[in-house]
Amino acid sequence: MHCERFFVYLCSMKRSLQRLFAAIIFFCGTGICAQSFPWQDTTRSLESRVEWLIENLTLDEKLSLMVHQNPAIPRVGLPAYSWWNEALHGVGRAGVATVYPMPVALAATFDPQTVRRVFSHVAQEAVVKYRQAQDTGGTGDYTGLTFFTPNINIFRDPRWGRGMETYGEDPYLTAQMGLACVEGLQTTSAACLKHFAVHSGPEGVRHEFDSRVSDRDLRTTYLPAFEYIIKHSHVAQVMCGYNRLNGSPCCTNRRLFDILRNEWHYDGILVTDCWALNDAYELDTVIPRHRTHATAALAYGDAFGREVDLECGSGLPALRQAVEQGLVPESKVDEHVRRILRVRLAVTGSTSQTGSTSQTSPTDVAARSMVLLKNNGVLPLRGLPNLIVAGPNAVDSLIPLGNYNGTPEHTVTIDEALSDLVKKSAISSASPTVVYCGGLNPQLEGEELQVEREGFYKGDRTLVELPREQVEEIKAYKQKGFSVVLVLCAGSAVSLENVIDDCDAVLMAWYGGQDMGTAVRQLLYGERDDFGRLPVTIYRSTDDLPPFDDYAMQGRTYRYADPERVEFPFGFGYSYSFFSIKNPWVDEANFRVGGTLSLCNTDASSAASHRTVVQVYLQCPDDPSAPIKQLVGTASLSPTEEQPLLPFSIDLDPFWFRQYNEASGLMEEPADGTRFTLQIGFSSDDRDLTDLPYTYHNRK
């Protein structure tokens, strides 16, 4: 066929055929489709396919697979592939995708099943995007099926800008939500636990910061979520962080390597945070760095000569130098590449799987995440009051998206969701009600941002109070005699002490995803009654916090903070209904608690769904160094008006009863007969809890 005719023929094809033809040309051009190779035979075991590649790749080819952008190796039919993709709350940075609420908001659902469904749907979208990339020959970043998700660092201080990416301040809740994310995402893809370990700011100095942590805090707060998920799943990847831990960068930290590989027996991929190894050796006059290694080869030798398998970065020349200098034995290279190929072949060879076949409603998830912090009776809004929507976050379409987000097909702002009601209420004579949409925004808090204004610094916050200009606006509305409903948008705790008395109601809406506005409307009007609960403590003021760069847990989170310094406690949240627990019981031998949940005094519409979260906390009266209390169990329960009495039971995992042993430096099972107190109720506040004596029975 002449070239001109061929071009006309190609242009007349349907777009799907064009993509297919382009892919064929791409792969044949690289020599990849010229012949078949044993590793491509999916009827063979995964291990035998991996071993064939290990035996047939050259050393230089193996090294090329140990950085995140794997080049094509036509000689053995291996196409190019990038390991870097994001799925923090939906497939991110890869075009159109469903945008769910930020992880801190997902944690506020206190419902792992919801999170598991969310990420099962995310996995489904991921496969579709991967296939589209394959059709067009796309192999760059954000095209693969290996995701740097979830972030399971502990949100120890509300000033940390990236706290919105986490599942809150509690190890148990973080572990449950992180596990649900891994299970959902790995229906088709590879998840990654990050950042290992002890990483939560400050953002402005993260490339040089040394997190100084006691062994007790390390074992009781910063490591349990990593350990629990690794022991309860086959998570494919773990990412080491930028910071130092007690003097050594996390990506060359022998103590962390020993815990991960030898204590927990993790045999998945250990990947660096992106360009984190550069911090160990580079001299930078702009960004201060760790500078713990004299040369790049020494840094890469410490990382890859031990337990790091894969670098997100561009250090292939330094890696080659480390091998040439004998710092990384060839046998170690094979070990790393073996892990890499296991995961890569597993996820890219099973794209016929599509995860969940139905979408988990972003509106439902958003509504279940939002927390009602105050209500003096103004909510739910009745009829058509004289409604005004105001505040800096009312019309901002970026507010719902948070960070590490995709591009949704649509976004519903709060103003858009309420606009028809505002128009209808303009012929109204009722006393005005202001829905004031305030708080923060993702351009002020986030990852290493170039922001320096009052209350904020490089993505972190220097003040936890509501911005001063918003306080003044709310007070002005109140002075005019308006009712004020504050819809608080933020990725972290915001102190309201200076304005709480001027608000008739407060709804914590977070960065609630693409349908955030719709969820706010449904909750304000009582169309649903399935609010979330706080996954973080809201302190009274900045002055009630320890120094931001102090990683000691004393005085932090509900587990160690003075309750008098707390404005809203962890686990707290109102409903339009009143719930109580009748006849709570304990089954010590089977690690189980329960009772009967009672629903009464409903103040929502008859169509509303009612939900509460029963929480179980553990106290250790004989251990003065233990936390004040520790969450060890939850249940998301939905009684109905037809069946207002709902019997329930909650299984407890002995993992969360472990105690720190000062002599061994390890978490160990309590001795038989150890006395505890279980508390069951609706928040971490003692006033919301009922005490139940509990005697531990050793399982050995």
Is the preceding peptide bond at 380 cis, omega within 30 degrees of 0? Answer: yes
Average pLDDT of the residues of the chain: 94
What does the pLDDT read at residue 35? Answer: 73
What does the pLDDT read at residue 200? Answer: 97
Is a pLDDT exceeding 80 seen at residue 168?
A: yes
Q: What is the pLDDT of residues 557-573, one digit of tens each?
A: 999 999 999 999 999 99
What does the pLDDT read at residue 424? Answer: 84
- 3-state DSSP call for residue 646? strand
Q: What is the pLDDT of residues 226-236, one digit of tens each?
A: 999 999 999 99
Is a pLDDT exceeding 50 seen at residue 25?
A: no
Sequential DSSP letters for 302-348: HHHTTT--BBSSS-HHHHHHHHHTTSS-HHHHHHHHHHHHHHHHHHH
Do 454 and 542 touch, CB atoms closer than 8 A? no
Is a pLDDT exceeding 90 seen at residue 636?
A: yes
Do 212 and 246 touch, CB atoms closer than 8 A? yes
Tell me how long the chain is. Answer: 700
Both tokens assigned to 253:
């930290």
Is a pLDDT exceeding 80 seen at residue 3?
A: no
Q: Which amino acid is at 320?
A: R
Residues 400-409 have a mean pLDDT of 98
Q: Which domains does the chain have, with CATH numbers?
A: 31-348 (3.20.20.300), 362-573 (3.40.50.1700), 575-700 (2.60.40.10)
What does the pLDDT read at residue 2? Answer: 44
Burial of 57 (0-12, 13-18, 19+ CB in 10 A): buried
Q: Which amino acid is at 617?
A: Y
At residue 352 the predicted structure's pLDDT band, cuts being 50, 70 and 90, is: low
- Tally of CB atoms within 10 A around 95: 11
Q: Specify the higher pLDDT residue, 11 or 348.
A: 348
Helices (H) and strands (E) in the chain, counts: 18, 27
Name which of 493, 566, 531 is nearest 379 in CA terms: 531
The rounded Cα 341 to chain-centroid distance in angstroms is 26
Q: Which amino acid is at 520?
A: V
- 3-state DSSP call for residue 585? strand
Q: Please list the residues that pair with 483 across neighbouring strands.
A: 433
Residues 300-311 have a mean pLDDT of 98
Q: What is the pLDDT of residues 245-286, one digit of tens each?
A: 999 999 999 999 999 999 999 999 999 999 999 999 999 888
Residue 59 Cα distances to 48, 323, 339, angstroms: 19, 10, 16
Sign of CA dihedral 45, 47, 48, 52: positive
Q: What is the pLDDT of residues 531-540, one digit of tens each?
A: 999 999 999 9
Is a pLDDT exceeding 70 seen at residue 33?
A: no
The rounded Cα 449 to chain-centroid distance in angstroms is 19
At residue 384 the predicted structure's pLDDT band, cuts being 50, 70 and 90, is: confident
Name which of 421, 431, 496 is nearest 464 in CA terms: 496
The rounded Cα 143 to chain-centroid distance in angstroms is 21
At residue 77 the predicted structure's pLDDT band, cuts being 50, 70 and 90, is: very high
Sequential DSSP letters for 393-412: TSS-TTGGG-SS--B-S---
What does the pLDDT read at residue 421? Answer: 87
What does the pLDDT read at residue 357? Answer: 54
Is a pLDDT exceeding 70 seen at residue 169?
A: yes
What does the pLDDT read at residue 410? Answer: 97
For the chain, give the percent of residues with pLDDT over 90: 88
Distance separating alpha carbons of residues 143 and 149, to the nearest angstrom: 15
What does the pLDDT read at residue 429? Answer: 73
Q: What is the pLDDT of residues 190-218, one digit of tens each?
A: 999 999 999 999 999 999 999 999 999 99
For the chain, give the percent of residues with pLDDT over 70: 94
What does the pLDDT read at residue 232? Answer: 98
What does the pLDDT read at residue 354? Answer: 57
Which of 226-240, 348-362, 503-517, 590-604 is predicted least confidently? 348-362
Residues near 14 by beta carbon (within 8 Å), at least 6 away in sequence: none
Name which of 335, 152, 302 is nearest 235 in CA terms: 152
At residue 446 the predicted structure's pLDDT band, cuts being 50, 70 and 90, is: very high
